[in-house]
Amino acid sequence: MNIQARKVSLKRIRIDENCGIHQLATKLDASLDAESIQKIVEFGMKSTCSGKQLAQTVKELEDRKKKLENDFREIALQCIKLESKYVGLRTQIGKIFRDNLVQVFHLCSRTPNGIHERLARDELIHKYIKLSKSQ
Amino acid sequence: MRLTHTRNSNVKLGVPRDLYEKIGNQEKIIELMRIGLLSLRVASLDREIADLVERTEALKKRIVELPYETEKLNKRLEEFIKDQKTLETLLNVRR
């Protein structure tokens, strides 16, 4: 059962909107109802760092995150280029394979003329039937 | 957020009275809230950074794999094009 539901007696305190509390809560998507305030304060009491140290750590982490985001964007762009080349090739191969398979079916109905033609014909039929089964 | 706006860009927050009495004054509560929120922000940033590092590593791995995979596809494409020509020849011979 939460604090609001238990109708806990509240003490209203006034804070400056620009003191940072409001902005931090927004960034964290944290509520500032009585129950959340209780948890946030308890969390603050457990901290071994000062507000100044924590603010410095947050700044350093935000800078690091920005740098990582930039690196990620560059790497992602590089990956997209390579991936599109790969996908394009795969599509092209799929199309040629299907065309060849159709031609192989046509070839099945033909009688080979000579040993070399028969060998080439049998090899292609065997290869494409096997490939079509594995797909 | 349960905030009550007052004049002069101030907001009012409802603090449980027992917590207020335990801590004793408003400034201390605000400072503890700031420390609590900053600690949560540090934890949140740590998670976001770990996630970014993990996703970046996965992309780097894919970048290493892709040229090799593409080369394999190139070889297969050459092979299918060669088959295509052989098939055309075999089918034309019989016409």
d(CA A89, CA A107): 26
What pLDDT, on the 0 to 100 scale, is given for residue A1? 46
At a CB cut-off of 8 Å and minimum separation 6, what does B86 contact? A120, A124
Quick one: closest CA in A to B26, which residue? A13
Q: Distance between terminal CA atoms of chain B?
A: 81
ipTM above 0.85, yes or no: no
Q: For chain B, what are the domain ranges?
A: 4-93
pLDDT digits (tens, 9 = 90+) for A25-35: 988 888 888 89
- A27-38: burial string, b at 16+ Cβ within 10 Å, e else: eeebebbbbbbb
pLDDT digits (tens, 9 = 90+) for A48-81: 999 999 999 999 999 999 999 999 999 999 999 9
> Touching check for A11 and chain B: CB below 8 Å?
yes
Query: B38 contacts in A (CB within 8 Å)?
Result: 24, 51, 54-55, 57-58
Q: Is this structure's pTM higher than 0.80?
A: no
d(CA B78, CA A93): 9
How many CB pairs (< 8 A) connect A and B?
229
What pLDDT, on the 0 to 100 scale, is given for residue B94? 47
Q: For chain A, what are the domain ranges?
A: 47-134
- Inter-residue contact A51 to B31 (CB < 8 Å): yes
